[in-house]
Structure 1
Amino acid sequence: MSGGGTEIWFYHLERSTLDQVLPELLDKTLQRGWRALVRIADPARLDEIDEHLWTWRDDSFLAHGRAGQDHAERQPILLSQTGENPNGAQALFMVDQSDMGPVEGYERCFIIFDGRDDTALNHARERWKALKGQGAHLAYWKQSDAGRWEKAA
Structure 2
Amino acid sequence: MMRADFYLIAKPRFAGQPLLLVCELCRKANDAGLATLVLARDSAQAEELDDLLWSFNPDAFIPHQIAGSDEDEEEALVLIAAPGQQAGLRPLVINLRDAAWMEPCDRVLEVVPDDPAAREPLRERWRQYKAAGYTLNKYDM
Instruction: Give the TM interval when normalised to the shorter protein.
Output: 0.7 to 0.9
> 1:77 maps to which residue?
78
- What amino acid sits opposite 1:76 in the alignment? L
Could you tell me how far apart the structure 2 residues matched to 1:7 and 1:23 are?
20
Return 16-25 or 28-37, whichever deviates more: 16-25
Are the structure 2 counterparts of residues 101 and 108 from structure 1 closer, same or farther at C-alpha, using a change threshold of 3 Å? closer
Are the structure 2 counterparts of residues 44 and 85 from structure 1 closer, same or farther at C-alpha, using a change threshold of 3 Å? closer
> 2:4 maps to which residue?
8
Unaligned runs of 5+ in 1: 144-153
Paired residues of 1:9 and 1:108 also in contact (CA < 8 A): yes
Residue 4 of structure 2 is aligned to residue 42 of structure 1: no
Q: Deviations over 1:20-45 (max 9, x none)?
A: 32222111111212111100112221
CA RMSD in angstroms comes to 1.9
Residue 140 of structure 2 is aligned to residue 142 of structure 1: yes
- Name whichever structure is richer in helix by fraction: 2
Paired residue secondary structure (1:29): helix
Paired residue secondary structure (1:9): strand
Could you tell me how far apart the structure 1 residues matched to 2:139 and 2:103 are?
19
Paired residues of 1:54 and 1:63 also in contact (CA < 8 A): no
Could you tell me how far apart the structure 2 residues matched to 1:49 and 1:103 are?
22
Could you tell me how far apart the structure 1 residues matched to 2:43 and 2:98 are?
11
| Aligned positions of 1:48-127 closer than 5 A | 48-70=48-70, 71-82=72-83, 84-86=86-88, 88-95=89-96, 97-104=97-104, 106-114=105-113, 116-127=114-125
Identity %, equivalent residues = 24
